[in-house]
Chain A
């Protein structure tokens, strides 16, 4: 009962999902989360949230991440799920 009230009253607004390949691109460059976080100027946990697709970055942050990972924004982010292995 209490949990239901809590879930209703403090629920997170479900966002339209934004899929990304940050983790794969980061691993390909051999960067740790902390190193990527330092490069783009965010907390290391924010990189974790981004990689788990629990947080969608602003356009500015998406551009910074793409630059840090030597990729285009469109290669890193998508509104449809990426195919595995691509």
Chain B
């Protein structure tokens, strides 16, 4: 029985890892506390709903269009809201509050057009494999394979490609990058696009499994941020590790207590980490500033 929970935890964790990596991509490099990421995540599910259920396009095609639409939204936010603030050289807190405002706008616009009720992408019950006494649905298998594949490819990309090296340089010192003549503005566009892509893939995979409403973004964002903090800010492996830990922890919470206490346990873990190991598991020791 516990094996089943561990497997569920790993699968959920893979999604957290993917979405958390998207958040880290923006946070580690630009230090933007991208709250609107919650709305971007939610937006992808609704786009998929529009193309798959309303326009009745094939699943894969609607998935791809939804990802593109989500990337477009993310870039729009970057160009209209963040860039002008960055050009004005405002503080990061102001950018964070603006991001909060953007999140409120996007969520309520979606709620206005689609309604507040839960929407379902896939009304059928997914078929499943059984290994011994562990049961895995096809959808879960897709979730695991897709997210692990994307994370793996991205890690290689980060290590060996020119873009990856630039990203890591920006993480280390974005002012110095500017001094060396890197086009920060364009880099930011790439990073925001890529982070939206990760959010959209995660969102689509979850939406196909359990359905969604306009308010799914915030709980996801919170889990993702906790994953990033306990993994450690800085290294890009950290949010992946954190994501799997959160997934496993939540699955075990369901096993030991009940699903109602998932949030409480997750945030107790966050606070323990903030107090005892603010640099996270993989971070280097430094003062929490």
A binds B: no
